[in-house]
Amino acid sequence: MAVGLSAELPPLLAVNGVRWGVAEAAIKRPGRKDVALMEICEGATTAAVYTRNAFCAAPVHIARRHGAASAPRYLLINSGNANAGTGEPGMLAAEQSCRAVAAVTGCDAGAVLPFSTGVIGVVLPVAKIEAALPQAVAALDVEGWHAAAHAIMTTDTVPKGISRQVMVAGRAVTITGIAKGSGMIRPDMATMLAYVATDAAVPRDLLQGLLSASADRSFNAVTVDGDTSTNDACVLVATGKSGVRFDSVDAEGYAGFAQAVLEVCQYLAQAMIRDGEGATKFITIDVRGGVSEDECRQVAYTVAHSPLVKTALFASDPNWGRILAAVGRAGVVSMDVSKIDIYLGDVQIVHAGGCDSAYTEAAGQAVMNQAEITIRIELGRGDAVAQVWTCDFSYDYVKINAEYRT
């Protein structure tokens, strides 16, 4: 069970100008909805961020190309097949899936952005998607967020979604987002897909800047296992249907709106970690006192990726030497270990580079027994800070990934 997450989604607010429809294509196996279609109104603006993996999947290539050339009208998402590592046949399949949407909706194929998640190395079975698309189109509904959150899942144990509203000049602005992700999570982006929409009007350049900044503090600050997927993508859509428009960062209400978008992104990012494959604990790595934010993140990720730290967390073993060792090998130039303090929750385990004189194993154990733990690392080198969210490594993580294709 996901750490601190309910199997039931919270109420998701409709976003005027966006409709979702889902269908069963039996891409990997029958019996579940595995295709989702997002319809975007005319006049909307769209921003996106994608994986930096050099082996990025065919749909990523096509989505980038289409998104740069025109205003998207439809997003097509399938689970069960990543269409990655598939060469030219995979590219042709991704393009054909866009033409299939165009055929049933009447839009231009270039206005369709394709997204896929699932098994790598298998060409997308486009014929199955083509057969399912009329069902997805018929199901298009402004209330379709819940169904879409379920349809995009792979190894996720729970769907992930959240809504926020802010008031601007007496008008309500809605932000709703859904995401999938459970393993192969270490962004540049993360295996994650996320779709967020708002009924505010936001020019494309401003929207892209907002998404990029929000992603850096959310989807790009999480890790399950240190693996960057071939298929990661996050899309932010602004329909303008609320009547509220932001033309610059200085516009009335923009700061509160941007904060709400960030909160949606952070909730979705943290939900992926809480639902990490086999996860039993949700861990915040809080690094402070660095020379730069990049330096702080470097330390945080080294701790978060350490198999020895992650397995100790699973065992609830306060083996703080593993944390100390990870900090020491993080590659920080001219690190002065005599300035480093480390805390488990509120319990100081390391002071001035050595075991804190007041530390007791019982105090450390009490923190490690908790399902949610903060590891705070004080570098004593500057004023920069960074946070990364991760989870433990359990027996089930190995089992899930050993049996992924069976």
CA distance 358 to 353: 14
Is the peptide bond preceding residue 189 cis, with omega within 30 degrees of 0?
A: yes
Contact 289, 378 (CB under 8 A): yes
Considering only CA atoms, which of 99, 94, 30 is closest in space to residue 57? 94
Could you say which DSSP state residue 246 is in?
Answer: -
Give CA–CA dist 63/222, Å, rounded. 24
> DSSP code of 139?
T
> Comparing C-alpha atoms, which of 6, 90, 64 is closest to residue 275?
6
* Residue 162 parent element (H or E): strand 160-168
**CA 65 to chain CA mean position, Å:** 22
> In this structure, what token pair is assigned to residue 285?
């790595």
CA torsion angle 178 87 51 298 (round to 10)? 130
- 239 is a catalytic site residue: no
116 with 97: CB under 8 angstroms?
Answer: no
User: How far apart, in whole angstroms, are the C-alpha atoms of residue 391 and residue 48?
Assistant: 26
Residue of 46, 155, 174, 191 marked active site: 191
Distance CA 391, CA 158 (A): 16
Is residue 9 within 8 A of residue 149, CB to CB? The reply is yes
Residues facing residue 36 across a β-bridge: 22, 77
DSSP run (H or E) holding 197: strand 193-198
Residue that the structure tokens 């579940």 belong to = 32
In whole angstroms, how large is the CA radius of gyration of the chain?
Answer: 22
Q: Active-site residues: which are they?
A: 191
